[in-house]
Amino acid sequence: MNKFEYLSIRYDGDDKLEVLDQRKLPDVEEWMLSNSPSDMVSYIKQLSVRGAPLIGVAASVALYLHVKKGGEMTREHIIETSQQLRQARPTAVNLMNNLDEMMQLSLPEAERDYSVKRLASIAESIIQREVDMCLKMSQLGAQLINDGDNILTHCNTGAIATPGMGTALGIIREAHRQGKRIHVYVDETRPLLQGGRLTTYELAREKIPYTLICDNMAATLMAAGKIQRVFVGADRIARNGDFANKIGTYSVAVIAKYHNVPFHGVAPWTTVDLSCLSGKDIPIEERAAAEVQGASGAFGNVRWAPAASQTFNPAFDVTPVDLVTSHILDTGIYTQEQLKDNVLMNFS
Ligand code: MRU
């Protein structure tokens, strides 16, 4: 497999795979070696590697490298390793889709080839496809943005969450690149602050004007007419257009609907899961109490709640299609009416 370098993952073309520790951003840019699939599973679980497209790509490359380094390996071992990677996180379907592609599950068993050469070529095509899809989504979505618009986004959906220019943040970057004068309001995204730590980091790098807000301030901005459009990413889109994304997305969709602000989900078609008939079928990850009881990052660990406090910490929520103005995929922009008409079934 050829050498590559993206904002949060790089491979030297030999044995060295590294990922940027996203937990430490924005102040510390620390690369970590991934020596094995179990390293990658830990990095994904602890959100050093995060974002739906990135975790799929990172797990695929980790699987390839394991086979490359391992010499003689049984098929059973390779299958088991892919299963371990598949289970690193449950909600973003890109992880499962990419690993299923690596394992060639669409082919009859006898035709599946787990040689280093074949796995390298699949992993390379997965990465290139993600880069291309990011570009297409960004160009499509940027058409919706007018000069002077203020945009709200939630979580982080940019170049550190994908191997390309991002999904929702890719659209924002593309509009800015086209010279549109935009301003981005960034939800900080409690509890893990992907907006406050990562989206701000990316926007600052790109010199895109932004204002960071706490999640509970978005309604006040909308009521004041200060938000023209909302773009968010997606971790899994069900057949009917309901979709899972970072916790807090649903609340943004509700307030956007109340204030008549257009609300768009943005994702590659690999985020669509036709086996989920609606959002009710999407598995939602629950995470540790400590994330809600306090915060951690490059600044250290802080706890403000009693250590024994009972918490509720779903990492994602489901936004029903009724609140979606359109989904922007790399294949096109699909309105709520089209989504309700089962347009996503065309991906089967
Ligand atoms: O828990 P995270 O940080 O991996 O959640 C990420 C999101 O919810 C993103 O919006 C989604 O993965 C799209 S990233 C391009």
- What average pLDDT score do residues 51-62 get? 98
The CA-to-CA distance between both ends of the chain, in Å, stands at: 30
Of 157, 189, 230, the residue with max ligand 1 atoms within 8 A of its CB, to mutate for a pocket test, comes to 157
Looking at ligand 1, which residue's alpha carbon is closest to its atom 7?
246
pLDDT-derived band at 348 (thresholds 50, 70, 90) equals: low
In this prediction, residue 263 carries a pLDDT of 99
User: What pLDDT is attached to residue 36?
Assistant: 97
CA of 58 to the centre of ligand 1 (A): 14
CATH superfamily ID and name for 144-347: Translation initiation factor eif-2b; domain 2 (3.40.50.10470)
Per-residue pLDDT at 122:
98
Peptide bond into 26 cis (omega under 30): yes
The two domains 4-133 and 144-347 share their CATH topology (first three levels equal): no
* Of 23, 1, 24, 30, residue with least CA distance to 14: 1
> Which residue ranges make up each domain of the chain?
4-133, 144-347
Instruction: Taking residues 100-123, report their average pLDDT.
Output: 97
pLDDT value at residue 239:
97
Regarding the beta carbon of 53 and ligand 1, being less than 6 Å apart is answered yes
The β-bridge partners of 212 are 186
Would you say residue 151 has pLDDT above 70?
yes
pLDDT in tens, 261-317: 999 999 999 999 999 999 999 999 999 999 999 998 888 899 999 999 999 999 999
Whether 42 has a pLDDT exceeding 90, the answer reads yes
Compute the distance between CA of residue 178 and CA of residue 171 in angstroms, rounded to an integer.
11
Q: pLDDT band at 176, cuts 50/70/90?
A: very high
Ligand 1 in contact with 293 (CB < 6 A)? Answer: no
Give residue 346's pLDDT: 84
Counting residues of the chain whose pLDDT is more than 90, the rounded percentage is: 97
Question: Does 71 score more than 90 pLDDT?
Answer: no
Which pair of tokens denotes residue 155? 């979580």
Higher pLDDT, 346 or 181: 181
Q: What is the pLDDT of residues 177-202, one digit of tens each?
A: 999 999 999 999 999 999 999 999 99
| Topology of the domain comprising 4-133 | Four Helix Bundle (Hemerythrin (Met), subunit A) (1.20.120)
For the Cβ of 34 lying below 6 angstroms from any atom of ligand 1, the answer is: no
Rounded CA-CA distance 30/337 in Å is 45
Cα-to-centroid distance, 337 and ligand 1 (Å): 26
pTM listed for this prediction: 0.97
pLDDT in the model for residue 265? 98
Q: What percent of the chain lies above the pLDDT cut of 70? A: 100
d(CA 117, CA 119): 6
